[in-house]
Amino acid sequence: MTWANSIGGLSHQSGGHVNEPFIGENGISGVLLHHKTANNNPPVTFAVAARENQNVDVTVLPIFGLSGESSVTAKEMWGTMVQGGCFDRDNFNAGPSMPSSVGDTVCAAVSASTWVEPHGRCTVVFALAWSSPEVKFKKGSRYHRRYTKFYGTSPRSAINLAQDALMKYKHWEEEIDKWQTPILRDERLPEWYKITLFNELYFLVAGGTVWIDSDLSSSLPEDSDLPLHNSTCNSTVPLIGSSPPDFDDKENVGKFLYLEGVEYFMWCTYDVHFYASFALLDLFPKIELSIQRDFARAVLREDRTRVRFLADGTWGTRKVIGAVPHDLGAHDPWHELNAYNIHDTSRWKDLNPKFVLQVYRDFAATDDMSFGKDVWPAVCTAMEYIEQFDRDGDCMIENDGFPDQTYDAWTVLGVSAYCGCLWLAALQAAAAMARSLGHDDYADRCMVKFAKAKHVFEAKLWNGSYFNYDSGTSYSSRSIQADQLAGQWYTASSGLPPLFDEDRIKCTLQKIFDYNVMRVKGGRIGAVNGMHPNGKVDETCMQSREIWTGVTYSLAATMLLHGMEDQAFTTAQGIFLAGWSEEGYGYWFQTPEAWTIDGHYRSLIYMRPLAIWAMQHVLSPPRAILEAPKVNTMERAYVSPGALQFLQDSVRKITPKSGCF
C-alpha cells in the first residue's frame, strides 16, 4: 500500500513534510506521514500500517518521491517490489526523514508479503488512519476533535487509530451487519429503498462534518454585549448578558456540526435540518439532542452586529432575541450565528415553529425529561416571538409578501399552507410538551389558540381537495404545494393527533401524488414543488418548478403515516430512479438539493436528502412513541374543562384583533 504525504490544495508541494517509520503493538507496523498544512492551519498525520503474523511479513519504505530528484523514486520502489516483494527491514531504524523540499511530492510504502500454497488462502489487511486533533475556523477559534477524548491530542495517535482498526475491524463489520441486516432482509421493503436508505447516509461524513470535544465556554469572548431577556412562560429562563451561555456538554457527546451543503457553506442550517434530522435522531440521538440544545441557547441570544441583506439591500440585526437562527454560523460557529444573509431570517415564519416541532419530536422519541426541562424556556420564547406575525389577531400567522421561509425564492403572502400548517403543529406540540412538564395553563392557552387558528387556516385555504399555496390573489396562490402538510408530517411522526380530518389529509396527499408526482415524467423523478390545478408546473420561480429530493422523501413519509404505502414508495422511488439508478442522472453519493424536470441539478452534496430516514422513522418508530398511551385528540391536547368551554365559545365568535395568549 502506498500513500502520498498530501491533502491536495495549497500545501501539496509546499515542503516541510516528514515521513517516519514506526513499530507498534500486536505486530502492527507502518509509516507515519506528518503533513504541514498551509496558512497556519492545524497539521495532519497519516498512518499506513499492516499487521505481521506467522504468515505475513511487514516491511516499509518510509519515503520515496514522484520525481527523479528524490533519493528513491517511485520507479525504483516498484522495481524492489518486483524483485523481492519486500523492503529492507533496516528501514524501520531510519527515524524521521528530512523535511521535504518545495515542489516535491513525498510518499511512503508498506509491504505485507506472504507465501500462499496452491489452492490456499491468506488475508492481508492494511489500515489507513489520520490524526488531525485540532479544528481551526476562519476567524481563529480552535477546538479539539471529539476522538481526542479517547486517543489524546498528539498527532502520533494515528498509530493507535490504525492499531484499533486492524485489531477490531472484524467486530466493526459484524456490528454494521447487525444494524443493517434486519432492514436488508425485510421483504416488505423494496430493494431500491434499502439501497438508498443506507447510501444517503454518506452525507453525515461527507457533508463537511466537524465533531469537537472542547468545552466551548472557554472560547467565548470575555466581554459579551448581550442584553438580558426573560420569557413570559412559567419557567426560569437563563439571563443573558452577565455571562456567556451555558455550554456544558449535557449529552456527553461533544458538539456536532455539518454543512447545509458543500456549495452552501453554513453549519447546521436549521430549516433544512428539520428534514435531515431524522437520520441523527434514529442513529445518533444524543448528537441530535446536542444540536437542539445549541439552538435552544441561540434562541435566547442576540447579536447586534449590523448586516446587509442581499435580497433588498436593507440593513438589520444579525441575531434577534427570540428568533431561531437560520444556522450556527460559518467562520466562527456557535458564536457568530446566521451566516445566511440573503433575507432577514428573523422575519421568517418557519424557523420558530420548526424549532418547537423538532424539540417536541426529540423529547417524545427519547423520553428525556432533562432535555425537555432544559430547552423549555427557549420553546416558550420562540412561541412568544412568532406571535408578532399574527397581524390581525385571529391566532394564525401571516407571511409578509417575500420568500420568508425555506423556499427562499418563492414569494408567499398572507396565510400560507406551508407556514400555517407548521404553526398549527407547533401550537399542538407546545401544548403537549407543556403538559408533560407540568405547565397545564400554558397547554390550555396553546390549544385555545390552536382551535382558532385551525378554523382560520381551513376557512382561508381549503378548496375541497387540497390547501391553496397561500391566501393571496396571485396566479400561484392556488398552486398545489408538495410540502403543504409539513406540519402534519411532524405531528404524526411525534405521536400527536392529526391537525385535520383524516379525509382531508388523504385527499390532499392523493392530489399531490396525482399532480406533483405522477404528472411529472410519470412519477420517475420525484415530486415537483409547485403544480397548478390545471396540471402545469408552477413556473413562478426557480424553486416552484424544482423537484427537491428531501421534500420528496418527507412527502413519502407523510403518505406512509396515513396508510398510503403504494403512493409513498412510488413517490420516493422517483429520487432513486433519477439520482441513484444507472438510468438516472448520475448523482450517487452527491445527491443534490434539487433538480429540474430535465435533470439539471442545484447544489450537489446537500443535507436535506437525509430525510429518507423520516420514512424509516415511520416504519420503525422509537419505542417511546410506540409505547405512548393512545388517547383522543382532546385528551392528548390536555385541555381542561373550563378551557374547553372557552375554546368552543371562542371558535364560534372569532373576531378581529382578539387576543390569543
Percent above pLDDT 70 for the chain: 89
Q: Closest Cα to residue 511, out of 484, 471, 551? A: 484
Q: What is the mean pLDDT of residues 533-561?
A: 98
* Residues contacting residue 388 through CB under 8 Å, at least 6 positions apart: none
Cα 487 to the center of its chain, rounded Å: 18
- Is residue 644 scored above 60 in pLDDT? no
Contact between 551 and 529 under an 8 Å Cβ cutoff? The reply is yes
The two beta strands, 315-319 and 303-308, are antiparallel
Which three cell numbers mark 27? 505486530
CA pair distance 634, 627, nearest whole angstrom: 19
Beta bridge partners of 61: 109
Res. 48 pLDDT band, cuts 50 70 90 = very high
- Read off the DSSP letter of residue 514: I
Residues 6+ apart with CB under 8 A from 218: none
In this prediction, residue 171 carries a pLDDT of: 98
Can you name the residues that pair with 293 across neighbouring β-strands?
Answer: none
- With a CB cutoff of 8 Å and minimum separation 6, the contacts of 610 are 200, 201, 203, 204, 275, 276, 277, 278, 279, 550
If one compares 111 and 221, the residue with the highest pLDDT of the two is 111
User: Among 224-233, 438-447, 557-566, where is mean pLDDT lowest?
Assistant: 224-233
Phi and psi (nearest 5°) for 457? Answer: -60, -50
Q: Which of 350, 338, 340, 270 is nearest to 304 (CA)?
A: 338
pLDDT of residue 70: 65
**Whether 155 contacts 43, CB under 8 Å:** yes
Geometric angle at alpha carbon 381, from 318 and 353, rounded to 5°:
80
Q: Which residues of 415-454 are buried (b: 16+ CB within 10 A; e: fewer)?
A: bbbbbbbbbbbbbbbbbbbbbbbebbebbbbbbbbbbbbb
Strand partners, 136: 142
Q: What pLDDT does 232 receive?
A: 44
Confidence of residue 249 (pLDDT cuts 50, 70, 90): confident
- d(CA 50, CA 108) in angstroms, rounded, equals 13
What gap in Å lies between CA 100 and CA 26, rounded to an integer?
A: 31
Q: Nearest CA to 3 among 46, 35, 52, 59?
A: 46
Which residues are bridge partners to 107 per DSSP? 4, 64
For residue 65, what are the β-bridge partners? 73, 106
In order, the DSSP letters of 47-92 are: EEEEE--SS-EEEEEEEEESSTTSSSBHHHHHHHHHHHSS--GGGG
* Three-class secondary structure of residue 594 per DSSP: strand
Q: If you average pLDDT over residues 244-257, what whole number do you get?
A: 72
Q: Check residue 627 and give its pLDDT.
A: 76
Average confidence score pLDDT of the chain: 90
629 band by pLDDT with thresholds 50, 70 and 90: low
DSSP sequence for 537-593: B--SSTTTTPEEHHHHHHHHHHHHHTT-HHHHHHHHHHHIIIIISTTS---TTS--S
pLDDT of 66: 83
For 370, the enclosing helix (H) or strand (E) is helix 369-386
pLDDT score of 632 more than 70: no
Distances (CA, A) of 113 to 47, 55, 56, 88, 169: 19, 8, 6, 13, 20
Q: Compute the average pLDDT of residues 366-378.
A: 97
Who wins on pLDDT, 313 or 238?
313
- Partnered with residue 48 across adjacent β-strands are 31, 128
Strands (E) across 320-395 are located at: none
Q: What's the start-to-end Cα distance of the chain, in Å? A: 67
What is the C-alpha separation between 34 and 46, in angstroms, rounded?
7
Q: Is the pLDDT of residue 633 over 80?
A: no
Confidence of residue 251 (pLDDT cuts 50, 70, 90): confident
Instruction: Please give the single-letter amino acid code of residue 400.
Output: D
Task: Band the pLDDT of 215: cuts 50, 70, 90.
Answer: low
- pLDDT greater than 60 at residue 492: yes
The pLDDT value recorded for residue 125 is: 95
Tell me the C-alpha distance between 98 and 100, whole Å: 6
Q: Locate cell 433538480: which residue?
A: 595
Of 437, 420, 453, 432, the closest CA to residue 497 belongs to 432
pLDDT at 248: 63
Measured CA to CA, the distance from residue 506 to residue 508 in angstroms comes to 5
- Res 252: pLDDT: 86
Query: Is pLDDT of 229 > 90?
Result: no
Kindly tell me the sign of the dihedral angle through the C-alpha atoms of 396, 400, 401, 402: negative
- Closest to 547 measured CA to CA, from 512, 582, 505: 512
| Predicted model pTM | 0.91
Would you say 272 and 550 are in contact if contact means Cβ atoms under 8 Å apart? yes
For CA atoms 86, 88, 89, 95, the dihedral sign is: negative
Q: What pLDDT sits at residue 29? A: 97
Output the CA–CA distances (angstroms, integers) from residue 405 to 108, 339, 385, 417, 419, in the order listed: 51, 16, 16, 12, 8
- The mean per-residue pLDDT over the stretch 468-490 comes to 97
User: What pLDDT is attached to residue 71?
Assistant: 79
What are the backbone dihedrals phi and psi of residue 257, each rounded to the nearest 5 degrees, phi first? -130, 140
Residues making up the chain, counted from first to last = 661
* Side-chain half-sphere CA neighbours of 659 within 13 A: 3
Q: What is the pLDDT of residue 640?
A: 46
